[in-house]
Amino acid sequence: MAEGPTVFGQNTAQQLREQAARETELYEQIGRLKMELEWLKKKLPNSIKIKRTMIEPNHPMLSIRRQCDLIGLNRSTFYWRPADESPLNLIRMTHIDKEYTRGPFYG
């Protein structure tokens, strides 16, 4: 009965202390996770090929967008695939190569 007016209206001092303690703990976790993420980004390889292999397209918890953000890879780089040469272009390059090896002094 003594705490009747505060039950629905205001938080008690005990609840405020518990909430402040939880907030402090959460801010500490956020700071620790930020520091760990920055450390990890420094240790990641610079090779785009290696970074592309690190992405798991079917990961149940992390989207491709988030995974790319975490390792510092542009999403377009992940999706990009080099175009194949056409058969006609390969034939032309072969002829040019033969001419060059036969007479490199032509320029």
| Contact in structure between 41 and 51 (CB atoms under 8 Å) | no
CA nearest neighbour of 37 among 62, 61, 69, 64: 69
What is the chain's pLDDT, residue by residue, as a tens digit (107 residues)?
Answer: 666 655 665 667 788 889 999 999 999 999 999 998 888 888 888 888 899 999 999 999 999 999 999 888 999 999 998 888 999 999 999 999 999 998 888 76
Q: CA-based Rg of the chain, rounded to a whole angstrom?
A: 30
**Does pTM top 0.75 for this prediction?**
no
